[in-house]
Structure formats: C-alpha cells, structure tokens
Amino acid sequence: MNAANPMALAIPELGRMLRAGEITARALAEAALDRLDTTGRSLNALVTLTADRALSEAEAADRELASGLDRGPLHGIPYGAKDLLAVAGHPTTWGAAPLASQQFDDDAAAIVRLREAGAVLAGKLAMVELAGGFDYNQANAAHTGPGLNGRDSGRWAGGSSSGSGASVAAGCLPFALGSETWGSITNPATFNGVTGFRPTYGLVSRSGAMALSWTLDKIGPLARTAQDCETVLAALAGPDPSDPSTMLAPEFAREESPRRFRFALCRAVLGDVDPLVLANFERSLDALRELGSVEEIDFPMLPYREATGVIIDAEGASAFEEFIIDGGPLGLTAPENRYGLLDGLMLPAVDYLRALRVRRRAARAVDQALDGFDAIVGPAETRVAPPIEARFDEYYADRADEHLGAAGNLCGLPGLSLPNGIAEDGLPSGLLMMGRAGGDAAVLAAGRAYQELIGV
C-alpha cells in the first residue's frame, strides 16, 4: 500500500494514525473526496460526492476524539455507499437515468448505523441500473457509464456494486457498502482484487435500500481485508424493527491462540474454471491446509440457479411493477434492460411457489453438507474481469455454470471473496469461502487467518 495515499491503507492503520495525532478525520475526508472526484469519476465509480456532509461528520469526529469520546474502530474513517442506499438530502438514483432526481427523506438504516459508529460518508457510488435485475448483458448498463475496473480501466468492474469495488481497489476509499442479490458483492470484489463479504440473509437491515428481491437482498462491505469487513459488519449487524427479516448479530471474538479450521471442497460444483484462475485456487488450497484440513465432500446438486432466477424475476417484477407499467424501463441505458422483467409480470404463481419449495429443500441439504465445516471453498469467479466492450453471454459462452454462488444466495449463506493472486493479463482472481447460515464469524475468522498467512 502507498502510505502517500491514506485511502490505500486498511482501517486499523488509519485508526492508529487518527488516535496518534498523525492525521485528522478532516484530512482523511478531504483525501477521500479528492480521490473520488478525480480517480473515482474517471472510473465511472462516483454518482454523488457528499462533500458538505463528509466534512461536517469528519470535524465532529475530530472534536469527539479530542474530547475522549471514541465510537470505535470506524470513528473518523471515510467510506462510500452504493447508490441504492437512501441518503437524506442527496439523490438516490438506483443507477437508473429515469430516477436521477429521486430523493428520500431519511437515511437508510445501514447509513445510520455507520454514522453512529463515527464513519464519514464521502460519496454515493455507481451501480448497475436497478441492481442488475433487468437482465443486463454488457458493462454499459448504468446512467453513469460502464463501470471501469480499479485495476485495469479497460476491464469491467463487475456488478452490480461496480463503484464500490472500483473505488476501494483504486485507493479512493478504505471501504464501501455494496449489496448482493446474486453475486453483486463477491463479483466486483473479485474482479477488482479487493475483499468482499456477503452476510447471512437478515444480518444487516435493508430498511431504506432499494428492493430487488425481498427474500434474497443483502447488504455488506467491500474493503482491503477480511478484518476490515468484519469491523464494518460488526457496526452494521443486528435487529432493526423497520426490517422484520433482521436477526441478532454474531459475536466476533479473536481467539487467544490460532485455531484450526475445517474446509470443505467439492470440485463437481466449481464449474469450468480458467486454467490460471484454477492454478491460483490450487495454491490457495495449499495455504488452507496449513490452517487446518481441506476435505472433499459431496455437495447436493440441486437447481440453485433456476430457483434463484425465478425468485428474482417474480419478486423483482412485483417490486418494479408500477415502474414497468408506466414505461420507466424505456429510459434505461442498456437496451436489453428496457424489456427485462416483463416476463416476471406474467410468471405463473405455481413457478414461484415451486422455487420457494426448492429453496427450503436446498437450505436443509446444504446445511447438512456443511455440518462441522467452517466453510466450503472454491474460485470466486471462473474467469477474470471481461473487457469493457464484451457481451457477457459471449465472454462466458464456453464456461459451465458454477453452483456455489447460486446456492449461497438462494439459501442466504455468508460468502467471502478474498484476492488470491494474479491470473490472466495481470488481473486478479479470488478465493470464495462460504459458510452455514449464521456462520459469518467463522467465515471471517478463516478469511482473516488466510490473509495473515499469505501476508495481506
């Protein structure tokens, strides 16, 4: 990391500098605002710079820290939020041109919790329009332009949390919030070479967030390390009366002595992986064996992708029914999005109910398969980030579907994407760790141990 740019540092180091008087929260906010306004804009990663709010929150953090009031490890740390999270006084566009002037009166629950933890909101970050629920097939699917990768601007940043992944990778912010319905945190984390965490469904309140799929949507962090993701999650997690799906937060406790982890592996569900990505994964397995055991298991082969797709189509069409009927999709950027989800309005109820039954069966079967394991592991993506001009159906035409991402989202399971090396064309690949429902702390502990072992 380049110490000349504090935004390229991890949260613990920034916190140490703040408390040692080596830097102020205002200086951190100014650095974040400058990086977002320049590098962030050049990557199409920024929607709105929240400068006045950032400086006000930063100055308040400096006063509180000087007076002895310490709100914890995020106090004075800048961050950005995916533009589907409401922020009072600023547009919340959901990535879509027809909604460019949309505003809400209150902050989303996740924004409130980070403010209470002392974090400083520096900007609202770009995303694929309407979180990708309208079946986009190429990178230019946002009113801010195609999301450019923070490692290589000729490649895609991933979706739908494109701005979150790119802004962390490019050293604009130490962490950002993203959301995932199906791959929208782990995908941009992998493509940009940062760490991203998808929490168990219901662990983080979605109050004030755009709804694509009420039973699949999740909010989580993208950051430098698993430790940083754990720090952010600890501030976000917990019950919220305004979101009845929320649950109690787990305890994140560091063991006094290193623990041994138990990892599961099923090669049958990994898909057709690019050789260089697979080579990085094999090296990751060698590292994981130093942390514990890696055991081959049989993973239940169920129609995860099909069931997840039906649920998104049905719930997305319901969530956007008025928008669709009123012709809102005709103003979307990607031509294919102008007709996406129309079929969802005509989806038979029996198909939706069948998908819910598959999910119930899948949740039981996957939980049984992972019983006794801290996480099942696999490549986070089968290929590196595609060229910015690529059509996804062509780029992935020769790759079989992988199942872990679909299974994890269908069943609401925690998933962690960790950078694990450089693959094709100098681009990063990722290691996926996925745990049982509620096993967030174990997955993050395993990810933290892996990164400490490889020197991240």
Q: How far is CA 399 from the centre of its chain?
A: 23
Candidate list 160, 162, 207, 429, residue with the active-site label: 160
Identify whether 184 is a catalytic site residue: yes
Q: If we measure between CA atoms, which residue out of 217, 41, 196 comes closest to residue 132? A: 217
Q: For residues 232 and 230, what is the distance between their CA atoms, to the nearest angstrom?
A: 5
Place of tokens 């950051």: 223
Answer whether 395's CB lies under 8 Å from 383's CB: yes
Q: For residues 223 and 227, what is the distance between their CA atoms, to the nearest angstrom?
A: 9
Helices (H), 45-181: 51-67, 109-116, 162-169
Cα 117 to Cα 120, 156, 223: the distances in Å are 9, 32, 17
Place of tokens 């799929």: 213
Q: Is 342 exposed, middle or buried (0-12, 13-18, 19+ CB in 10 A)?
A: middle
SS3 at position 6: helix
Q: If we measure between CA atoms, which residue out of 344, 364, 352 comes closest to residue 411? A: 364
Identify whether 56 is a catalytic site residue: no
Identify whether 42 is a catalytic site residue: no
Candidate list 162, 167, 179, 184, residue with the active-site label: 184
Candidate list 82, 161, 162, 213, residue with the active-site label: 82
What are the tokens at 199?
């929490």
The residues annotated with a catalytic role in the active site are 82, 160, 184
